[in-house]
Structure 1
Amino acid sequence: MTDLLIRNARIIDGTTDRPQDATDIRIADGLVQETGSGLSAPGATEIDAAGRYVMPGLTDAHVHVIAVTADLKANAALPDTIVAIRSLKLMNAMLMRGFTTVRDLGGATAALRMAAAESPVPLPRLNICGKALSQTGGHTDQRGPIDETPTPERNVPLGSMGIICDGVPAVRRAAREQFRTGTDFLKVMANGGVSSPSDPIHFLGFAREELIAMVEEAENAGSYVAAHLYTDKAIRRAVECGIHSLEHCNLIEPETARLAAAAGCIACPTLVTYDKLSSEGEAMGLPAASVAKVDDVRLKGMESLAIMAEAGLPMAYGSDLLGGMQPHQSGEFEIRGRVLPAQTVIASATTVAAKLLRMEGRIGTLAPGAFGDAILVDGNPLEDLSVLSGQGDRIPVIVKGGEIVKAG
């Protein structure tokens, strides 16, 4: 493993509203070993960051690495081998945009993560929930009203985002199965969705006792539950049932946002996906019924950011893009920057995301003991968030786990 010494590093990590004073960062054995002025590391590869800014590797806390097409029913019908290869390509592109850690919110399995560890191309660190839990007719039930095809309870295709389970015993079994196979947390579809045919946005999905059972199973495993949510009623219900990670939240109201903040929840808005589903979804294969539902949640998204910020509800960075729309992953920075201070937006992909993934001190920071994940940026993102956009065009150097994966 390469020993690195990054000199003249002006760090931007979302904890301050200006770059920190220039320092040196020594990385060895895949971890940040020390920071300070005039560090010495004989034999280490040196990177001079003068004239650039240094950030911890970014974290996208809501991705779907197995969503290789926007038509999720067609995606689930693809052979596992095809999905796996395309997934590696998607993840490599994420890393080249500066995302050294990503949290998959439905689909990626522990087996895929094991395969990714042997990938011939560099990939981001992968945090997973396994298959998302959905009720019959919910978000991930792609069958539609006239499709009577039985849904599998086991051996679910890699390209399928979720698993169907109804009733408390089935929910407990499905939750335990996800943890048995090595997932980090649980995901539940607790509201209607855009990319599925039978669940209008207002659908609440599971019964309260089913949600509470999932939370208990996650707590028993030392973990937490993330929930797909749009409407204020669904979000409040989820918070009351003990759900910790609130995904999307486009239709949240101030009182519920305050309740969630008081409960210690973290939200994960994903506004870029609705922007692109509206403009590109049909061309990328999103079914017409799904395209028609996009504006129900898209138009309130910007307002939701202000509501959650005012309530003190922390927000992690998320993109949630599907198929050919995934190159827009970094566009979330600029969208949020229209409403929120740049420091807050940056923190969403560093310290807030680290807290959500329960990896504080390991990711989202360049303090000693953290993973050796760093990016060098041409331009100050505190002044211009667009330097983080695109395909890493203004991120000439990327280090993941102490290895230089991009140099320029």
Structure 2
Amino acid sequence: MTPKFKHLVAMTAFSAGLAIAGQGLAQEESFPILFSNVHVFNGVDEQRIENANVLVVDNLIAEVSVEPLAVANAQIIDGGGRTLMPGLIDAHVHMAITEPVADLRDNFDWMYWGAVSTIEAEKMLLRGFTTVRDAGGPAIGLQKAIDRGKAIGPRIYASGPVISQTSGHGEHRVYTEPHPNFMGAQPSFFNQHVEFLADGVPEVLRATREALRMGAVQIKVMAGGGVSSSVDPLHTVQGLPEELEASVRAAADWGTYVMVHAYNDDSILRSLEAGVISIEHGQLMTEVSAQAIKDSGAWIVPFYSLLGLDEEVVKKALGPAAAPKFLDVQAGARNQMKLLKEYEIENVAFSTDIIGDPVALTKQNDEFKYRLEAWTSHEILQQATSKSAELLALSGKLNPYTAGPLGVIEQGAYADLLLVEGNPVEDAEILVDYTNNIDLIMKDGVIYKNTLD
């Protein structure tokens, strides 16, 4: 039996009413929690630790043992032979862009954004994602609310506003809207909190430093054409070499790094030459980029959940102009998988990049089944735990979560844990049905879902 729980009233201001037994609840007192009778996937090794016991004290893992553990006053959770694994990490999400971009830009104020993103953050945690890297948007406030116990959701490594050239992928002005940097212009919420338009080295430096001032822990720059923006074809290369290098150097001065949106070879190669170490997406890459990524040791952060989306969903979320570009990117996805495997690129993180549609967000865990076309279940689980955690830790001294490592089950690591039916190390597709197959979700030592008897 579990000790008494109490409702976290302050944490549910925007999302009252909890549907799953045990979710959003925390212990009245800080009792140690002992998981017994579990098989542990530690985030790294292919072989599970059989018949293990894992002790959680406060928000950290205190011990992992195959021997019985006697702990005074511990809450004992019998795993019943289930798999205990690290919480999932999605290395590329947009926590505050959860509805169609045009609606958010034109029809809603910032209070609406905050309310909706808070609700969706809780849903994401209940899909098993205990940590995410936000790849651009007004998520810094959401991160603060979650970290301070005012809202429920995953840990967030926030990038703040994306940095884009004029007419780049971070360009969502209506046609008649003046440039936000022109004298006398009044920047919209979008141009203040979602995306910075910056042209030339001085403006790029200012935008990078402004994002850092606002609380970004890594920087997001647009280096090539994108799907959700209407003014830039996919073939375009964005950011001059000296502009990309300026952002990389300014971020490095703060001890962190730059991640870039890039699909095609020219964008990827220019970014790598500028010192970028995290390439986002890359579905239109060829052997040239694969070799360059391999040689540089950079990270690639692809997403394949797009394979399950159709043209109509994309039109609804991103507008009709996005559909043809989406189909081009979708067509390149399987070739990218082949290249990453052929070139034995190991620095691959797990991401989904689903934006603009709350229904599509419920399909976040589908990413596991699509990756099975190229990787083993064990490799995919590594990507979604320890590998993504390794990437996020490159934020260095700006890392907001330093009490222990993420993405692993070991002594001293954060107690971000999932108790899963079956063996996802052999069949990662188990995690697609998160409602029925993830029985317990713990983040930072607090249980948010528990459907065990």
Tell me the TM-score normalized by structure 1. 0.94
Q: Where does residue 25 of structure 2 map in the other structure?
A: none
CA deviation after TM superposition for structure 1 residue 171, in Å: 0.4
Indicate the SS of the match to 2:36.
strand
Q: Where does residue 341 of structure 1 map in the other structure?
A: 376
Contact 2:38 2:81 in 1 (8 A): no
Which one of 124, 144, 169 corresponds to residue 202 of structure 2? 169
1:80-229 to structure 2, matched below 5 A, reads: 80-118=110-148, 121-143=151-173, 146-151=175-180, 156-157=189-190, 161-229=194-262
Determine the C-alpha separation between the residues in 2 that align with 1:249 and 1:257.
10
Determine the C-alpha separation between the residues in 1 that align with 2:283 and 2:210.
30
Determine the C-alpha separation between the residues in 2 that align with 1:158 and 1:90.
23
Q: Which stretch has the larger CA shift, 187-196 or 297-306?
A: 297-306
CA deviation after TM superposition for structure 1 residue 184, in Å: 0.7
Q: Where does residue 321 of structure 1 map in the other structure?
A: 354
Which one of 414, 424, 431 corresponds to residue 381 of structure 1? 424
CA deviation after TM superposition for structure 1 residue 341, in Å: 1.1
Larger radius of gyration: 2
Contact 1:75 1:159 in 2 (8 A): no
Determine the C-alpha separation between the residues in 2 that align with 1:222 and 1:252.
29
Determine the C-alpha separation between the residues in 1 that align with 2:446 and 2:220.
31
1:23-38 to structure 2, matched below 5 A, reads: 23-36=52-65, 37-38=67-68
Contact 2:43 2:409 in 1 (8 A): no
Render the CA deviation track for 1:169-222: whole Å, top value 9, x for unaligned.
Answer: 000001001111211100001010000110111111111100000000111010
Determine the C-alpha separation between the residues in 2 that align with 1:3 and 1:106.
37
Determine the C-alpha separation between the residues in 2 that align with 1:199 and 1:286.
14
Q: 1:277 to 1:108 in 2, by over 3 A?
A: farther
Determine the C-alpha separation between the residues in 1 that align with 2:94 and 2:158.
10
Q: Does 1:364 align with 2:394?
A: no
Determine the C-alpha separation between the residues in 1 that align with 2:307 and 2:118.
24
Q: 1:113 to 1:21 in 2, by over 3 A?
A: same
Contact 2:96 2:139 in 1 (8 A): no
Q: Does 1:22 align with 2:51?
A: yes
4+ aligned runs moved over 4 Å, structure 1 = 118-121, 152-155, 157-160
Q: Where does residue 402 of structure 1 map in the other structure?
A: 445
Q: Which runs of no fewer than 5 residues in structure 2 stay unpaired?
A: 1-29, 395-401
Contact 1:13 1:347 in 2 (8 A): no
Q: Which runs of no fewer than 5 residues in structure 1 stay unpaired?
A: none
Determine the C-alpha separation between the residues in 2 that align with 1:247 and 1:371.
26
Which residue type is aligned with residue 116 of structure 2? R
Q: Does 1:271 align with 2:304?
A: yes
Contact 1:11 1:20 in 2 (8 A): yes
Determine the C-alpha separation between the residues in 2 that align with 1:55 and 1:15.
10
Determine the C-alpha separation between the residues in 2 that align with 1:191 and 1:249.
10
Q: Where does residue 43 of structure 1 map in the other structure?
A: 73
Determine the C-alpha separation between the residues in 1 that align with 2:241 and 2:441.
44
Indicate the SS of the match to 1:388.
helix
CA deviation after TM superposition for structure 1 residue 295, in Å: 1.1
Indicate the SS of the match to 1:368.
coil
Which residue type is aligned with residue 224 of structure 1? Y
Q: 1:69 to 1:159 in 2, by over 3 A?
A: farther
Determine the C-alpha separation between the residues in 2 that align with 1:108 and 1:39.
44
Which residue type is aligned with residue 225 of structure 2? G
Which one of 95, 105, 113 corresponds to residue 76 of structure 1? 105
Indicate the SS of the match to 1:6.
strand
Q: Where does residue 332 of structure 1 map in the other structure?
A: 367
Determine the C-alpha separation between the residues in 2 that align with 1:159 and 1:316.
29
Indicate the SS of the match to 1:76.
helix
Which one of 270, 278, 286 corresponds to residue 253 of structure 1? 286
CA deviation after TM superposition for structure 1 residue 66, in Å: 0.6
CA deviation after TM superposition for structure 1 residue 115, in Å: 2.3
Report how many residues are paired.
Answer: 405
